Amino acid sequence: MNILSWNTQRVLPGLLLLVAAATCQAGSIQLTPVRINLSDTAKVAVLTVRNTGTEESVMQVTLNKWTLDGQSYAYNRSQELVVTPVTFRLAAGGQQIVRIGLRGSAPVDREASYRLLIEEVPPPPSSDVTQTRLVVRHDLPVFVAPTQASMAALDVAVECTAHGAKLSLNNIGNVHTQLRSIALEGVPGKEMLGHWDTFDYLLPDAQKSWDMATVAPESTGKTFLVTALTDQGSFAVDVKNTCN
């Protein structure tokens, strides 16, 4: 097992450009912030929904539990958190505060994760067939931190498959990790071979793989330095490709 060590000082050039924006925008509806974090000490969060368009919008808010089902994510309607209001009218140029809060205590040993869907209710059909109005839909992550110590940890390995070697990252911590970029360097010499840009979330026990041939086609028997930039910091570890 190769555990990626957390190094907040070592960040590869260019990767800092992948920092997420603080405001999410689609069409005329803007949301701030783009991610909700709750805990036993921060039991309520505030989401601001703004209408920068010229027409009134009717908005609907839905909470879904976000879990790992095998190697796939599952989304199921949930009322485990308090969300208010769940429907509202948003005047042109106006804004609405949506509050998200815990119903009880935070989980003990493992982060709870949800997706908050904020969508525009479609207007009644127009008699003017030449006019088409696109409705806005946002899907935000919501995380509830465990009361026990949070640990962000990644296990990295090279998997040998029928289609070639794959670089695999598995979240073995008890909280999520959001990947920003993964870089592959040669060892020794630290020659930059290539990188993958990704904004995937890895919930606890989730795994994601990448085809090594796309950045290192002649990699058999070689050792590489893998650096992953995440929302938890920069992680780095040496791995060897033992695939034939």
pLDDT digits 0-9 by tens, 113-161: 999 999 999 877 766 655 556 778 999 999 999 999 888 899 999 999 9
What's the domain range around 83? 35-122+131-144
Residue 17 above 90 pLDDT?
no
* Contact residues for 31 (Cβ-Cβ < 8 A; gap 6+): 23, 24, 25, 47, 48, 49, 50, 118, 138, 140
Give the tokens for residue 60.
């609907």
Residue 21 above 60 pLDDT?
no
**49 DSSP β-pair partners:** 31, 96
Hunting for tokens 């949800």 — which residue is that? 114
The pLDDT of residue 10 is: 38
Is residue 188 domain-shared with residue 138, that is, in the same domain?
no
- The tally of domains found in the chain comes to 2
Tell me which DSSP letter residue 96 carries.
E
The pLDDT of residue 128 is: 61
Reference 92, options 40, 33, 52, 45; nearest CA is 52
pLDDT digits 0-9 by tens, 57-92: 999 999 999 998 877 899 999 999 999 999 999 999
d(CA 240, CA 222): 6
| Residue 209 near residue 166, CB atoms below 8 Å | yes
d(CA 214, CA 14): 20
Is residue 157 domain-shared with residue 140, that is, in the same domain?
no
Is residue 140 domain-shared with residue 193, that is, in the same domain?
no
The pLDDT of residue 178 is: 94
Q: In percent, how much of the chain has pLDDT > 90?
A: 61
Average pLDDT for the chain: 85
pLDDT digits 0-9 by tens, 171-194: 999 999 999 999 999 888 778 888
The pLDDT of residue 218 is: 80
Is residue 162 domain-shared with residue 221, that is, in the same domain?
yes
* Contact residues for 46 (Cβ-Cβ < 8 A; gap 6+): 97, 98, 99, 100
Give the tokens for residue 92.
């042109």
* Residue 35 burial (CB count, 10 A): 16
Is residue 39 domain-shared with residue 140, that is, in the same domain?
yes
Residue 103 above 90 pLDDT?
yes
pLDDT-based confidence at residue 18 (cuts at 50, 70, 90): very low
Is residue 115 domain-shared with residue 155, that is, in the same domain?
no
- Is 29 part of any domain? no
| Residue 116 near residue 142, CB atoms below 8 Å | yes
